[in-house]
């Protein structure tokens, strides 16, 4: 484990250089890794672990036919490497609990009796453990309770793995029964293809994750885009112009410059007019949104956001309501314009 300074703050980081895949294979040599849930994170982590030589089986409720059939298409064989949830959990020594947060609460009474002494109960989100009063997920004291949380969607975890890059992950140990919990955690993190692993806690992981999703990563980003698009349209700009100035230039140009060398480098490689305007307006946006982010973090910390998630996602008609919300988003003028713009992008070199 290396001590690395981020912004002058020392953190514990594990890289593939100091904990190579060969070592991860040795640590997990005798483990049977049961991936519970083949929905969002499950497929990527399962296939990455399998490609890295780990012994992987899938636990998936057969009645959720779409996910079951997807596992079959990905090469998992019913009765051999693909089982109902309880059967897979009983066979596994590492149980990667990767069903949705709401489903974890529902499935837990069936999963808990399947855990054996010395098993590792693995999460990719601190949600169920941190908010145990709401979820009822309280592990027995005879298992390791660990976390590896990739900082990206399942699609990105798989795509980056195939590209040879990996995606960064946080890791944490909540309960160390075997004395091997940290070693198992890091080995699993390397096994799923993490670029590097940084240390956290279950609590800090879920607080930062819920804040980020509702904030810059998704909620705030989409909200700010809609606000700017609306102002441009109100002032007579065409849908195409408003979309290109709001979304297309960000996603196809500027954010890639930020990714390469940071925000200051992106500013330095834009026009003087853009630089000056961005530097002058940055503090205005920061100060106007800071109270919103503070309120958001407090709601995450006190459990209000969790209650909303569990209440809404646990409703029997949730899937229909979600599809209606996504349909409204997709069919809005801004994102309808986006669909048309994407079709006009060049397919490749002439």
Residue from 53, 112, 128, 120 nearest 92 by CA: 120
Q: Give me the catalytic one of 125, 237, 315, 321.
A: 125
Q: Give how far Cα 300 sits from Cα of 95, 125, 211, 228, Å.
A: 27, 14, 7, 27
Find out whether 309 and 125 touch, Cβ atoms under 8 Å. no
| Strands lying side by side in the sheet with 94-97 | 2-6, 9-15, 194-199, 167-175, 144-150, 120-123, 94-97, 33-36, 56-59, 82-83
Give the CB-side neighbour count of residue 203, counting CA atoms within 13 A. 3
The Cα angle at residue 95 between residues 90 and 96, in degrees rounded to 5: 145
Task: Determine whether 125 is an active site residue.
Answer: yes
End-to-end CA distance of the chain: 48
Alpha carbon separation from 51 to 1, 21, 41, 185, 329 (Å, rounded): 25, 11, 16, 18, 37
By DSSP bridging, strand 56-59 and strand 82-83 are: parallel
CA pair distance 330, 167, nearest whole angstrom? 28
Active-site annotation, residues: 125
């Amino acid at each position: 484990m290396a001590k690395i300074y981020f912004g002058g703050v020392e953190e514990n980081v594990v890289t593939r250089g100091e904990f190579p895949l060969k070592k991860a294979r040795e640590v997990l040599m005798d483990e049977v890794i049961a991936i519970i849930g083949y929905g969002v994170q499950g497929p990527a982590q399962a296939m990455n672990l399998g490609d890295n030589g780990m012994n992987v089986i899938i636990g998936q409720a057969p009645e959720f036919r779409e996910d079951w059939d997807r596992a079959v298409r990905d090469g998992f064989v019913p009765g051999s490497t693909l089982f109902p949830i309880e059967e897979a959990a009983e066979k596994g020594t590492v149980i990667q609990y990767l069903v949705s947060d709401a489903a974890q609460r529902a499935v837990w009474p069936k999963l808990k009796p399947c855990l054996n002494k010395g098993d590792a109960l693995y999460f990719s989100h601190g949600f169920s453990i941190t908010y145990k009063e709401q979820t009822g997920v309280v592990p027995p004291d005879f298992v390791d309770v660990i976390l590896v949380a990739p900082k990206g969607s399942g699609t990105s975890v798989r795509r980056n793995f195939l590209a040879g890059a990996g995606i960064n992950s946080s890791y944490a140990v909540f309960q160390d029964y075997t004395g091997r919990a940290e070693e198992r955690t890091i080995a699993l993190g390397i096994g799923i293809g993490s670029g590097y692993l940084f240390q956290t806690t279950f609590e800090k992981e879920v607080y930062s994750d819920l804040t980020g999703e509702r904030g810059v990563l998704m909620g705030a980003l989409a909200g700010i885009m809609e606000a700017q698009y609306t102002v441009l349209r109100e002032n007579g700009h065409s849908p195409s112009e408003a979309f290109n100035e709001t979304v297309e230039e960000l996603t196809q140009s500027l954010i890639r410059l930020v990714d390469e060398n940071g925000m200051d480098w992106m500013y330095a490689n834009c026009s003087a007019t853009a630089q000056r305007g961005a530097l002058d307006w940055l503090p205005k946006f920061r100060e106007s949104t800071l109270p919103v982010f503070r309120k958001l973090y407090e709601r995450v910390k006190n459990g209000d956001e969790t209650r909303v998630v569990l209440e809404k996602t646990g409703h029997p008609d949730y899937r229909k309501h979600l599809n209606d919300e996504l349909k409204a988003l997709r069919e809005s003028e801004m994102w309808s314009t986006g669909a048309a713009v994407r079709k006009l992008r060049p397919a490749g070199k002439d």
